[in-house]
Chain A
Amino acid sequence: MHQPAPTEHGSSPSIWSRLSAITDYFAWPLRTSHYLELVNPLWTTHKMQARVVKVWDETKDARTLTLRPGLNWRGHRAGQHVRVGIPANGKHYTRTYTISSPPERDDDCFTITVKAIDKGTISHHIVRNIKVGDYLPIGLPQGDFYLPDANPIQPLFITAGSGITPAFSMINSLIAQGRLPDTCHLHYAPHELDVVLGKQLKEMAARHSRYHLNLLYTQEGKDQHFTAAQLDALCPDWKERDVYACGPPSLLEAIEACFEQAGCSRNLHIERFRAPFTEIPKDAVGGKVRFAQSAVDTEGDSETPLLKVAEDAGMNPPHGCRMGICHTCNTTLVSGCVRDLRTGEVLNEAGSIVQTCVCAAAGDCELDL
């Protein structure tokens, strides 16, 4: 995971970067950082890593990992997310998780809270297999789902499941700064004991009178799913509040519709989790092919290698053996599905490496060519 060096605009290079420019002559073709990694993986500059210092089960299928990031880490804003590299079955996967701890935490660590989702082999792997002492590659904090610097007008959080994480970070941040305004929070979970971070939420609600928590259980007898009427009942002044929502797509759709109807969409801030996989079409007979860098759109059938498709569209992408052995034609799958013509294996994860000379479209696809 290559991160651009965080140089401040207009400032001269740091002493460290000047020094390492010299020591890199000793380390070539590697960099000094590759050798520092042997001593302590947290000292690297060529990639950033974090050490797992604690794991804690929040529910039967959700776990909080406490991570100590490397030296190049910069603080996050409450609500931001971070990319985490996960090695599973020998492969490296990248997933994005919201940081659940507030930036004010004083031990330089941060936490992510991961829920094992059905069929999500990677989240399962994180929840079950990652151990204390493991090192995980991480990115820098990203995302614009955070509270404004100015004291927010009274916020309303609407969250469900593991969508609690950004709200948890934000509320704790406001508490740590001693400027918690009147806050309303609606959180949805199937059962009482399935509430991710539930115990902490209840403690916060007990300690801070301005924090109004409503835990809604969707599978305990009566239907507690989100409705406008429910919102009116639990938070009558919701139209005057700044609203932060995070949860599964069905909840977010319902909230969006509700706010649109009330004409106060601009108060609504939404954080979505994007699915890393594309559904594999049942009848993989080819489809629309897009070459992103060249901005070429064309059609590819299920038998024609994508290299041929590109060439027929007038492009000249890199290639070599045309039989899948030399990897000169390797490119990245931006989105969609392709099929390896040799094995029939379907690649549908964004970021997969595609050998264009032996892969054909399996439904629509977009390549980084």
Chain B
Amino acid sequence: MKTHKLPVDLTDEQIEAFGRELDAIRDEIFDSRGEKDRAYILKVIKTQRSLALCARVVIYASLFFLPAWGHALAIWPVMLTLLGLGTFMLGIAKILENMEIAHNVLHAQWDWMKDPEIQSNTWEWDTMSPSDRWMHSHNVVHHTWTNVLEKDLDVGYGIMRVTPLQKWKPAYLLQPIYFILLMLLFEEGVALHEQAIDDHLKGKNKFADFKPLMKRIGYKIWRQVAKDYIAWPLAAALVAIPISLFVDFSPLAVFGIVAGANAVANLIRNIWAFMIIFCGHFPAGAHNFTVEQVEGETRARWYLRQLLGSCNIEGGKLFHVLSGNLSHQIEHHLFPDMCSNRYKEASPRVRALADRYGLPYNSASLFRQFGTTWLKNIRLAFPGGGEPWRGTPDQATSS
């Protein structure tokens, strides 16, 4: 019997059987978690902290090669190479922290260890969004309502048209620009990605209604800014003041170099995180859903929606770690609280399962996934771009 309105050729019973098979994969992997997984996350955390510390030290060290010092190695190429290396290392450390560590810890992927230091409810991450706010908009809203129009704020983040199901309006003409801006300011964008702010822009509430929330976000932003743009640069500048009496450089320039390096590191993280995350649900072939389609949804149909709405990115071991294993976006959406190092083991099983049930499994290179995301973004800035939802169950919602 077929009563569901999902764009697949399966009966209700077949979908339930599909769900049971996914449950079995989940249970099997969850039951086998152990010492090796703990060793993995502890190693990643230690590596990340060491890398972040070394990066800051290398950035500072580069200041001793400013030409004004006058020693043999004090030339711009040496200085800039060190500065670039330190900045790159800091960018990678921030990527590791945000994606492979914090995103996954905040998904409660490591709560099973009961390690009081690695718990979803106490972890705070190195980005402007307070972790508990993000957990609400991400874990609850996005992961429960994945790709459902009007329910999942991540469908276009309130500023973009990412599926023809969204009604076109003239503001979308500017979305290729929003796309670039959001890429560069992704950290800030995530911090302000709140239903309350979205409502406020639509005139649905007063500022006073969410002032406490803005205070919390404001405090987090202040501490982030204080670290990268005040504390680290200022410490260097303070040391530079007495030295500048003997060596001809300005403490202000020293401040600027360190602050600039930190800004570039944040930018590297922003661009990378944006690319990986936009490849999760927006490449060609990803499905979107209407509220009617998910009415009375069973767990098995929820699984099916996650599979249809998510896209994997193919790559090597290092690529998977740096993407926070969001390159296994399908597996992550099926099992959001499975520890991230196990997705690669679930992936071939899910892929074969999808194949057996004749279901699509959207997996391709970063070039293809990000390329089609970008092309779709440009196409959907204009009206049309695919059939809007007519409400008939046989209509495919692929875009």
Instruction: Decide: B111 and A320 in contact? CB cutoff 8 A.
Output: no
One of B201-209, B221-229, B363-371 contacting the partner = B221-229
Q: A96 within 8 Å of B by Cβ?
A: no
What is the bound-complex CA distance between A33 and B226, given in angstroms? Answer: 19
Residue of B with least CB distance to A27 = B227
Tell which of B116, B143, B224, B231 touches A325, judged by Cβ atoms closer than 8 Å: B143
What is the bound-complex CA distance between A25 and B224, given in angstroms? Answer: 9
Instruction: Decide: B144 and A325 in contact? CB cutoff 8 A.
Output: yes
One of A55-63, A83-91, A164-172, A295-303 contacting the partner = A83-91
Instruction: Decide: A326 and B143 in contact? CB cutoff 8 A.
Output: yes
Q: B49 within 8 Å of A by Cβ?
A: yes
Q: A352 within 8 Å of B by Cβ?
A: yes
Q: Could you tell me the distance in whole angstroms from the C-beta of A206 to the nearest C-beta in chain B?
A: 45
User: What total count of A-B pairs have CB within 8 Å?
Assistant: 102
Q: Which parts of A11-67 form the interface with B (CB within 8 Å)?
A: 25-30, 34-35, 38, 46-47
Contacts A26-B227, A26-B231, A29-B223 hold; do A353 and B114 have CB atoms under 8 A apart?
A: yes
Tell which of B35, B125, B231 touches A90, judged by Cβ atoms closer than 8 Å: B35
Q: Could you tell me the distance in whole angstroms from the C-beta of B27 to the nearest C-beta in chain A?
A: 6
Tell which of A2, A30, A91 touches B113, judged by Cβ atoms closer than 8 Å: A91
Q: Could you tell me the distance in whole angstroms from the C-beta of B295 to the nearest C-beta in chain A?
A: 15
When distances are taken between beta carbons in the complex, the residues of chain A under 8 Å from B296 are: none
Q: A342 within 8 Å of B by Cβ?
A: yes
Q: A323 within 8 Å of B by Cβ?
A: yes
Residue of B with least CB distance to A324 = B337
Q: B336 within 8 Å of A by Cβ?
A: yes
When distances are taken between beta carbons in the complex, the residues of chain B under 8 Å from A324 are: 337
Q: A131 within 8 Å of B by Cβ?
A: no
When distances are taken between beta carbons in the complex, the residues of chain A under 8 Å from B200 are: none
Instruction: Decide: A343 and B27 in contact? CB cutoff 8 A.
Output: yes
What is the bound-complex CA distance between A34 and B97, given in angstroms? Answer: 14
Q: A146 within 8 Å of B by Cβ?
A: no
Instruction: Decide: B37 and A328 in contact? CB cutoff 8 A.
Output: no
When distances are taken between beta carbons in the complex, the residues of chain B under 8 Å from A93 are: 114
Instruction: Decide: B231 and A327 in contact? CB cutoff 8 A.
Output: no
When distances are taken between beta carbons in the complex, the residues of chain A under 8 Å from B50 are: 38
Q: Could you tell me the distance in whole angstroms from the C-beta of A37 to the nearest C-beta in chain B?
A: 8
Q: Which parts of B359-394 form the interface with A (CB within 8 Å)?
A: none
What is the bound-complex CA distance between A85 and B115, given in angstroms? Answer: 9
Q: B349 within 8 Å of A by Cβ?
A: no
What is the bound-complex CA distance between A47 and B117, given in angstroms? Answer: 8
Q: Which parts of B24-48 form the interface with A (CB within 8 Å)?
A: 27, 30, 33-38, 46
Instruction: Decide: B136 and A328 in contact? CB cutoff 8 A.
Output: yes
What is the bound-complex CA distance between A85 and B35, given in angstroms? Answer: 15
What is the bound-complex CA distance between A261 and B223, given in angstroms? Answer: 65
Q: A233 within 8 Å of B by Cβ?
A: no
What is the bound-complex CA distance between A47 and B122, given in angstroms? Answer: 14
What is the bound-complex CA distance between A92 and B30, given in angstroms? Answer: 16
When distances are taken between beta carbons in the complex, the residues of chain B under 8 Å from A352 are: 114
Residue of A with least CB distance to B140 = A320
Tell which of B34, B115, B299 touches A89, judged by Cβ atoms closer than 8 Å: B34
Q: Which parts of B193-252 form the interface with A (CB within 8 Å)?
A: 223-224, 226-227, 230-232, 235
Instruction: Decide: B139 and A327 in contact? CB cutoff 8 A.
Output: yes
Q: Which parts of B127-160 form the interface with A (CB within 8 Å)?
A: 135-136, 139-140, 143-144
By secondary structure, the B interface counts as helix
What is the bound-complex CA distance between A326 and B210, given in angstroms? Answer: 23
Residue of A with least CB distance to B52 = A35
Number of A interface residues at 8 Å Cβ cutoff, please give it: 35
Contacts A34-B49, A326-B140 hold; do A90 and B227 have CB atoms under 8 A apart?
A: no
When distances are taken between beta carbons in the complex, the residues of chain B under 8 Å from A85 are: 116
When distances are taken between beta carbons in the complex, the residues of chain B under 8 Å from A25 are: 223, 226-227, 230-231
Residue of A with least CB distance to B223 = A28
Number of B interface residues at 8 Å Cβ cutoff, please give it: 45
Tell which of B23, B111, B336 touches A353, judged by Cβ atoms closer than 8 Å: B111
What is the bound-complex CA distance between A320 and B37, given in angstroms? Answer: 27
When distances are taken between beta carbons in the complex, the residues of chain A under 8 Å from B126 are: 29
Instruction: Decide: A321 and B144 in contact? CB cutoff 8 A.
Output: yes
What is the bound-complex CA distance between A34 and B126, given in angstroms? Answer: 14
Q: Could you tell me the distance in whole angstroms from the C-beta of A126 to the nearest C-beta in chain B?
A: 15
Residue of B with least CB distance to A331 = B121
Q: B120 within 8 Å of A by Cβ?
A: yes
Q: B69 within 8 Å of A by Cβ?
A: no
Residue of A with least CB distance to B27 = A343
When distances are taken between beta carbons in the complex, the residues of chain B under 8 Å from A320 are: 136, 139-140, 144
Q: A193 within 8 Å of B by Cβ?
A: no
Instruction: Decide: B139 and A26 in contact? CB cutoff 8 A.
Output: no
What is the bound-complex CA distance between A208 and B120, given in angstroms? Answer: 55
Instruction: Decide: B337 and A342 in contact? CB cutoff 8 A.
Output: no
Q: Could you tell me the distance in whole angstroms from the C-beta of A47 to the nearest C-beta in chain B?
A: 6
Q: A161 within 8 Å of B by Cβ?
A: no
When distances are taken between beta carbons in the complex, the residues of chain A under 8 Å from B34 are: 89-90
Q: B314 within 8 Å of A by Cβ?
A: no
When distances are taken between beta carbons in the complex, the residues of chain B under 8 Å from A132 are: none
What is the bound-complex CA distance between A28 and B224, given in angstroms? Answer: 7
Instruction: Decide: B336 and A325 in contact? CB cutoff 8 A.
Output: yes
Q: B302 within 8 Å of A by Cβ?
A: yes
Instruction: Decide: A29 and B114 in contact? CB cutoff 8 A.
Output: no
Instruction: Decide: B139 and A28 in contact? CB cutoff 8 A.
Output: no
Q: Which of B114, B125, B230 has the most CB of A within 10 A?
A: B114
Q: B108 within 8 Å of A by Cβ?
A: yes
When distances are taken between beta carbons in the complex, the residues of chain A under 8 Å from B107 are: 327
Instruction: Decide: B116 and A47 in contact? CB cutoff 8 A.
Output: yes
Instruction: Decide: A92 and B139 in contact? CB cutoff 8 A.
Output: no
Instruction: Decide: A342 and B23 in contact? CB cutoff 8 A.
Output: yes
Instruction: Decide: B226 and A35 in contact? CB cutoff 8 A.
Output: no
Question: Can you give 23 contacting A-B residue pairs, CB < 8 Å?
Answer: A25-B226, A25-B230, A25-B231, A27-B227, A28-B227, A30-B49, A47-B116, A89-B34, A89-B35, A90-B34, A90-B113, A91-B38, A92-B115, A92-B116, A326-B135, A326-B139, A326-B144, A327-B107, A327-B108, A330-B111, A342-B23, A342-B27, A343-B27
- Give 20 new A-B contacts, CB below 8 A, not counting A85-B116, A326-B140: A25-B223, A27-B227, A28-B227, A38-B46, A90-B33, A91-B112, A91-B114, A92-B113, A320-B140, A321-B139, A323-B302, A325-B143, A325-B144, A326-B143, A326-B336, A327-B111, A328-B135, A328-B140, A330-B120, A343-B27
Closest 4 CB pairs of A and B: A320-B140, A327-B108, A29-B124, A326-B139
Give chain B's interface residues, CB within 8 Å of chain A.
23, 27, 30, 33-38, 46, 49-50, 53, 107-108, 111-117, 120-121, 124-126, 135-136, 139-140, 143-144, 223-224, 226-227, 230-232, 235, 299, 302, 336-337
